[in-house]
Amino acid sequence: MSATQIEARLYYVRGRVQGVGYRNFVQQAASRLQLTGWTRNVDDGRVAVFAQGSAEKLTELEGLLWKGPRWSEVRGVDSSTAAPENLRSFVVRH
């Protein structure tokens, strides 16, 4: 029996994504998808999202990142491959 390959990605989300509940939205979505990682605001107005799990779940999360919560206005999502970290949950970092 083979374990699912764990992949990690780092996303930077541009647009109106700070002060609109975006990080909590990401945390809830990632937790529902059983992904581990973190999200935090970046000084330049973007939101950073580090997530790890199966490729399928990461693709699903990326689609949700484009959507965002009700008051957000996502203008772009940049994605890059990252090295997996030893994390047990998905958290909002301050």
∠ Cα 75 80 85 (to 5°): 120
Tokens of 47: 């939101």
Residue 12: count of CB within 10 angstroms of its CB: 17
Query: Annotated active-site positions, please?
Result: 23, 41
- Bridge partners, 47 (sequence order): 13, 41
